Amino acid sequence: MNCDTIRPWIIEYGDGDLDADRRARVEAHLNGCADCAQLARQMAATRGLLRALPPQRTSAQFEARLAERLARTQRPVPREGWLERLAASWRVPPRALRPALALGAAAVAAVGIALHPSPPTVLPPPVPIATESALVSQCVAQHQSDVAAQPLSDPAAQNLTARLTDPATAAPTNADVEDSL
Amino acid sequence: MRARLPILSRTGLALAALLCIGGAAQAGPRTGRPRLPRPHLGRLRPFVSPSPPAGALQAQSDPTARALLRRMLVAGNNLALAGTQVTTVAGGATSEQYVLRDGARALRMDYTRPPQMRGEVIVDDGRTYYHYLPGQNRVETQPSQVRSLRVRVPQVITQIRSGELLVQRLGQDTVAGHACVVVGVTTRGGNPAERKFWIDPTNGAQLKIEQDDAAGQPLSVSYYTSVTYNPPLNAHSFAPPQGALAPGPNSSPQPTVPTPAQVGFTVLQPAFLPPGFHFQSAAVTKYQGKKVAALRYVNGLNVLSLFETPDNGRGPIKRYPRAGVLVARQGGLKIVLVSSLGRNKLEKVVNSLR
């Protein structure tokens, strides 16, 4: 396995999302490649810094508003912009690097918006990640609502979990529910 | 004295006496927080209690326990009660709420703690579920949850009768001053006592519930510290919180998969479901203007939710953005699968979508 094949997997490796086979291949490569091992350490350090940030309480509609704001500020990115230059400097195919940069940018934007009601006007364009996150939040909220409506469930526990473990989660409102079948 | 009791109460007392025979040897200390042994002690340790003997629930259901569980389900539809309830979830977060429930007709919960939830009010009037969030000065609404119970209780009773759900009597205990029988419920082949209920046999009231996850670890526990049966109710008991907008009419979910004409795409369905799961109902919601098909699968204790919406992305993806959530892309659709099942089962379900 060469570096170009392994490097796109390093992000998922750090997140623990690789299956056993790929994980073993990545680990074998990292043991013999100083450059990739260095990249993996840098990503782990970045991830550690993000995780070390104190949790910020956001409003229930935070993710939806963030996605909307990102969509408004989205503009075409020059083909040879800083994103591509940075990607080239890491020798990672741009398409593979984008999710990692988008995730990092989204985390930075999230912290900034949580700390400051008026966030910076210029934001990077991680729209796919942000919108997916908001979609997941809506799906989880609807799932929790469905669980609470089961006869052998504990609605109070569902509500507490929803409110405390993910304050940004908001169940879909009647406006979202177009029709029930 | 006995002659004055209503027929229902007499029946309940008789049932209680029957269930208590032979159970004294297993009886735990009579406290509001039962403390019987338990193999999986997590962060909920102070609240968890009687655990069944290994393999107890793998045997045939106990007929008297099944009868009591049915009684609890029926009481959930009919019994009115009021009381203070404490809830603790894995991780240690605890809430306290005053609950006013009129069977499956209406529910009200007023939160008193933790501080960030104090003042929150949930009102479900049988048509709409309102959740008032004072910190945000906002009222969220959803379709009624208690109305769903009226439809789903008979389905669960059927599952109990058919043996899909295994029910065992685990012991007896006292909750909020009321003698209770502890009943454990699991799915066939599931973990020992995936859910436990403390049931007042005199009327079927559920005074405590404990839930475990797929790995058998405690997920949550809720119990009453005080309770009153048949409290006075009036027209204002279940009035929507101030500021709540009048919602549009809600239609009941029906067990039909959305058609392409309804959502604009062919809804994929899983060829594989974990044992015991079956399709329950579907709904169509919207996300950023796109239609989302929501399919629910249940096994009586757990829910598996499958969401599908058009997706313009290319290439397959499969990731876990948070615990219990699998996001995938297939056939031009973004798939979101949510369940407390493990990753392996979620993957098998997604891989079987056709």
**Nearest Cα to Cα of residue B190 among B160, B155, B224, B214:** B214
User: Same structural domain for residues A161 and A72?
Assistant: yes
Entry pTM: 0.64
Q: Nearest C-alpha of chain A: how many angstroms from B177?
A: 21
One domain, residues A48 and A132? no
Residue A74 sits in the same domain as residue A7? no
Q: Name the residue range of residue A63's domain.
A: 58-176
Domains of chain B: 2-229 (2.50.20.10), 260-351 (3.30.200.100)
Same domain, A38 and A65: no
What value does the mean pLDDT take over residues A100-117?
63
Q: Looking at A31, A52, A73, which one is the last position of a domain?
A: A52
Residues in chain A: 181
Q: Are residues A64 and A90 in the same domain?
A: yes
Alpha helices in A80-154 (DSSP H): 82-89, 94-115, 127-148
A contacts of B99 (beta carbons < 8 Å): 156
Question: What is the spatial distance between Cα B306 and Cα B319, in angstroms, rounded to a whole number?
Answer: 15
Answer yes or no: do A24 and A42 share one domain: yes
Are the beta carbons of A177 and B250 separated by less than 8 Å?
yes
A131 and A68 in a single domain? The answer is: yes
DSSP notation for A20-73: HHHHHHHHHHHHH-HHHHHHHHHHHHHHHHHHHSPP----TTHHHHHHHHHHHH
**Based on the domain organization, do A41 and A112 belong to the same domain?**
no
Same domain, A82 and A21: no
Q: What's the complex ipTM?
A: 0.78
Residue B249 sits at the chain A interface (C-beta within 8 Å): no
Q: Which of residues 285-304 of B touch A (CB under 8 A)?
A: 285-288, 291-292, 294, 296, 298, 300-301, 303
Same domain, A39 and A127: no
| In-domain check, residue A109 | yes
Evaluate whether residue A181 is within a structural domain.
Answer: no
Q: In what order do the strands lie in the sheet with B290-298?
A: A177-180, B278-287, B290-298, B303-310, B333-339, B325-330, B318-322
Residues A27 and A96 in one domain: no
Cβ contact A180:B143 at 8 Å:
yes
Token code pair at residue B143: 């379709």
- Give the one of A135, A156, A178 whose C-beta lies nearest to B97's C-beta: A156
Per-residue confidence in pLDDT tens, chain B, 354 aa: 333 444 444 444 444 444 433 333 333 333 333 333 343 333 444 344 444 444 444 456 788 999 999 999 999 999 999 999 999 998 889 999 999 999 999 999 999 999 989 999 999 999 889 989 888 788 888 888 898 888 899 999 998 998 889 999 999 999 999 999 999 999 887 766 689 999 999 999 999 999 987 677 888 999 999 999 999 998 788 988 776 665 554 445 657 899 999 899 999 999 999 988 989 889 888 888 889 999 999 988 889 999 999 987 777 788 888 888 999 998 889 999 999 888 888 999 999 999
Count the domains in chain A. 2
Does residue A113 contact residue B265 with C-beta atoms inside 8 Å? no
Q: Residue B87: what pLDDT?
A: 97
Residue A52, C-beta contacts closer than 8 angstroms, at least 6 positions apart = none
Distance of CA B152 to the CA centre of its chain: 11
- Look at residue A96 in the predicted model and tell me its pLDDT: 57
Residues A96 and A172 in one domain: yes
Q: Identify the residue among A63, A146, A161, A173 best suited for mutation to test binding to B, counting B beta carbons within 10 A and taking the highest.
A: A146
Tell me how crowded residue B181 is: count the other CB atoms within 10 A of its CB: 24
